Chain A
Amino acid sequence: MEIRISGVSKYYYAEGKTIKALDDVNLVIPANRIFTLLGPSGSGKTTLLRCIVGLEMPDTGEIAIGDEIVWSREKNISVPPEKRGLGMVFQTYAIWPHMNVFDNVAYPLQVRGMAKDEITQRVAETLRFVQLEGFERRPATKLSGGQQQRVALARALVAAPKVILFDEPLSNLDAKLREETRKELRAFLGKLGITAVYVTHDRVEALALSDSIAVMRAGQIVETGSPQKIYFDADHRFVADFIGRANLVPARVVAEEGGQTVVDCALGRVACQRRAIPAGAEATLCIRPEFIHVMNGEAPAGQNMVNGRIASLAFVGETYEAEIHAGELQLLARIDPDAGLAAGDAVHFALAPAHCLLVAQ
């Protein structure tokens, strides 16, 4: 179900200062897709999620889920969380320690006064879906982190909610389990085709899971788009920087030539992906380390051609991370482990215009 958020603000007062947790947020979360709110801590993403679910009350604006307005300051509507018919997976899973798996999952149905045998059947179905068949009688606290996470998911799903919300559900798992659980979650949600709102500060998680990402900063939505759009084609410097590792180089637009925007910067003249920025304007050139393909030796200087020297190499497993001195710049690059390069070597690389991203200041 579609979620429409218009003009929502939320203020906190601490030590005499007003903190804008949400600052006039306008957002439409499309139906039956996985939508991620991504941002650094303190950006307001969790507050926005809690406003949608009803655990926080905004100070202004309106929130509608499907056709129903669940919060409106002007119309004086405030539907409490228990009447919104949503499902939520908490960061800590919030598995009730005094109940076993069955009671945890059955709770939303018991609260709705469903008949006993129907509850048993629905719980069994949902547990089968999250691959926890036969775990009904286990005490919930005796499960592993990944299993608790699936209990929380089952509990959120069992009452067929209109929307399911996730508040950093993977942040309490260790790295390996997090990756597995992320894949599982993607598979579960893909099968369900339900509207899901997912909050995270982990960009890899956001890119891997989402159909659509909204990047937040300081209580505002900076940019919304598909993972590919956000990663390769961000409009904002903050987004380009936050979503992946990036070399950010200040540049000045020279002209538009052959469907490319040409800039001058410390790397010389560089042709970039086309952007509607007028000639003479300042911009930031964003180059991701994985698109800097370093080769041995010097090359004749020219457009999109850069010479430099390897300042340092760090082995990080699947690749070497190199710092390259190019003029006055320090650039981060990835180098293949079998490239046979060492610190101090002179190198050159060509920049593909498609991977030279210009973002507004």
Chain B
Amino acid sequence: MNGPTNPRTRLTWSLIFIVGALTVFPVLMLVLGSFSEGLTAFGHFTTDKYVAAYTDPAFFEVIANTAIFVLGTSLLSTVLALFLAYLNTRTDIPFKGLFRVISIVPMMIPHLLFAVSWALLLNPSNGLVNLALKQAFGLDEAPFNIYSLWGMILVEGLLELPIAYLIVAPAMASFDVALEESSRVCGAGTWRTLLRVTLPVLRPAILAAFTLGIVRSLASFAVPAMIGMPGRVQVLATHLYTMISTGFATDYGKAAAVGMSVLVASVTLIVVYRALTAESEKFVTVSSRGFRPTLIELGRARLPLFGLVGLLSLALIVLPVAVLLYTSFVPYSMVPSSRAFSLMSLRHWAAVLEDPISLLALKNSLFLAVVGATLGVMLSVFVAYVIVKVKSRAAGLLESLSYLSFSFPGIVIGVGFMWFFVQTPLYATIWALLLGYIATYLPYGIRPMASAFVQIHGHLEESSLVCGASPLTTMRRIIVPLLIPGIVSGWILLASMFVRELTLSVVLSRPGTEVLAVQILRFSEDGLWGRLSALGIVMIFISTTLVVLATVVGNRFKAA
């Protein structure tokens, strides 16, 4: 005998089915693929691919490079984030608004283009800085070479800085200064206090920032592709990419076998990360009431330190855009001079606007952004609703499922999707990309929606049900209108991520389904820097417009 089914239970299970299909399925396909013979036919169970992948003599070097790259990147971004957070929360450094800019603006500049702009500045053959220095000092060789492991660490470290800052700064701000003061009164000097009290108390937040940095740089493809590959520095992401996209013998099985270990490492680190953030909440001490101690006076160091922060924001924000803009107008790489300015033209812009593939990529990216973000947000609304409002074991399962893809490295999960799509008519269509995008970026849609739901009191919804409305009507008439601000900002966030998506697209994109980021990568492989820059500016423009819109809309609704 069946009891009456709760419509909420039915909703929960249908969502578990959909989200499970989107997130668990590609992982399953990846596992299956890694044990099979080829992309089109699974064939017999075989461990050949693992043997081939892990006994490859190049593999050891890839692992070593990857380790140095991810650890160096996380170290750089965490140390910089700590330094900036300390300056902002604890000292009298001027223009503190700048720190907010540093933590938000890099979201508008796609990683790919950030890497390109550094390559344009510091590449050994015609990097602008190198050219300028060679001219100025009559050097024979370029003084800098960005195409190295250190160049990769520098660029990726700067890219991960905002995320690390967003983790470390709140911890620093909620830090009770009395903990330090009591150490001073106990007889410890400034340095000993820093080492024995400040840093240990902040340890969970520091480790969380460091762990997330590792996960993100492990998944990063833009910097390794743009800066590592020209210098023949292979890390796991580019190693995978080489296996599936270059040469005549693409080997998805081997890629899946390598991808498995990246995926396992990534999921493990995310588990560690979540444990650390929980730990850091436990560390919250009795909060101080009233007395706000004066900020540390930097004195003579004030201006130099501010100069350093200014330089950093210049490198993070102004430089990439300026370099791209400049490159899009000059005929070839040259140091800015009156001659360079006289040679400027719209040639590259015209070439891009007449290039059918670039236009197709633009069209595809806009389609994916608009349709993908719309579908993604619709799914997110339902998932967030169940996670926040339905307190059942199934809802807990849905929550774990939906945050699973947060730890997915795009290129690895792309390989998993590939094994699936190749069996279906979706292969090489725009819909394959659409599904992949939504599956991989779902957590970014759910998170703002979940926090919006937390703020909607249960009684509002219950009184609608008591008035005779069905759950679906209640959702449409009561909940969604209250959620509008969350929906709008979630939509824009997803859309701006989809416009610049690279890592998943390089795997799934096929002739006819090019997207902006992939087209930019092609331009760089062909050395067409001018066209690349022009298309890049278009991409930054779309992405920036969306982020600005999100901020405006967010403020609008906050004020209401």
Q: Which residues of A contact B (CB under 8 A)?
A: 12, 41, 46, 50, 53-56, 80-88, 90-99, 107-108, 111-112, 141, 145, 148, 152, 155-156, 159, 167, 171-172
Contact = CB atoms under 8 A, between A and B. Distances in A.
Given A92-B285, A171-B289, A80 B176 contact: no
A82 B181 CA distance: 9
A172 B286 contact: yes
A81 B181 contact: yes
B288 A81 contact: no
Contact of B176 (A46, A53, A94, A152): A94
Contact of B283 (A86, A97, A108, A156): A97
25 contacts: A50-B293, A55-B293, A56-B293, A82-B184, A82-B186, A82-B189, A87-B185, A90-B178, A92-B178, A92-B285, A94-B176, A94-B182, A94-B285, A96-B200, A96-B201, A97-B285, A98-B203, A98-B283, A99-B200, A111-B192, A141-B285, A145-B286, A148-B286, A167-B291, A172-B289
B469 interface: no
Given A92-B285, A141-B285, A172-B286, A81 B200 contact: no
Given A96-B197, A97-B201, A98-B201, A82 B179 contact: no
B183 interface: yes
Contacts of A86: 185
A41 B179 contact: no
Contacts of A83: 187
B187 A92 contact: no
B286 A41 contact: no
A96 B282 CA distance: 13
Interface string B285-301: 11111110110000000
Contacts of B285: 92, 94-95, 97, 141
Interface in B201-242: 201, 203
Contact of A92 (B185, B186, B287): B287
Nearest to A47: B291
B187 A112 contact: yes
Contacts of B201: 96-98
Contacts of B290: 41, 91
B201 to A, nearest CB: 6
Contacts of A87: 185-186
A7 B18 CA distance: 74
Contacts of A95: 285
Nearest to B200: A98
B186 A155 contact: yes
Contacts of B182: 88, 90, 94, 152, 155
Given A91-B290, A92-B178, A107-B183, 6 more contacts: A56-B293, A81-B184, A92-B176, A92-B287, A94-B181, A107-B188
B185 A88 contact: yes
A167 B178 CA distance: 11
A86 B50 CA distance: 65
Contact of B187 (A96, A97, A99, A159): A159
Closest 9 CB pairs of A and B: A94-B178, A108-B186, A94-B182, A81-B184, A90-B178, A98-B200, A88-B185, A92-B286, A111-B187
A96 B176 CA distance: 10
A81 B178 CA distance: 13
B447 to A, nearest CB: 28
B476 to A, nearest CB: 47
A88 B178 CA distance: 10
Given A91-B178, A96-B201, A55 B188 contact: no
B295 to A, nearest CB: 12
Nearest to A145: B286
Nearest to A41: B290
Contacts of B289: 91, 171-172
Interface residues of B, number: 29
A93 B178 CA distance: 8
Interface string B16-42: 000000000000000000000000000
B203 A91 contact: no
A46 to B, nearest CB: 6
Contacts of B183: 96, 107
A143 B182 CA distance: 19
Given A46-B291, A107-B183, A171-B289, A80 B178 contact: no
A12 B293 CA distance: 11
A148 B189 CA distance: 24
Contacts of B188: 82, 107, 111
Contacts of B179: 94, 96
Contacts of A141: 282-283, 285
Nearest to B288: A92
Nearest to A172: B286
Interface in B245-290: 282-283, 285-290
B293 A82 contact: no
A12 B294 CA distance: 9
A43 B196 CA distance: 34
Determine which residue in A50, A96, A171 has the highest number of CB atoms from chain B within 10 A of its CB, and name it: A96
A91 B291 contact: yes
Nearest to B294: A56
B180 to A, nearest CB: 8
A38 B287 CA distance: 23
The residue among A55, A87, A141, A152 with the most chain B CB atoms within 10 A of its own CB is A55
B186 A159 contact: yes
A81 B286 CA distance: 23
A108 B184 contact: no
Nearest to B192: A111
Contacts of A50: 293
Given A90-B181, A91-B288, A92-B286, A85 B293 contact: no
A64 to B, nearest CB: 18
B200 A80 contact: no
A171 B291 CA distance: 13
A171 to B, nearest CB: 7
A96 B346 CA distance: 62
Contacts of A93: 286
Contacts of A99: 200
Contacts of B178: 90-92, 94
Contacts of A145: 286
A59 to B, nearest CB: 12
A9 to B, nearest CB: 15
A59 B559 CA distance: 42
A55 B187 contact: no
Contact of A55 (B184, B189, B196, B282): B184
Contact of A80 (B189, B203, B282): B189
Contacts of A54: 184-185
A97 B288 CA distance: 15
A90 B176 CA distance: 11
A12 B92 CA distance: 14
Given A98-B200, A98-B203, A155-B186, A55 B286 contact: no
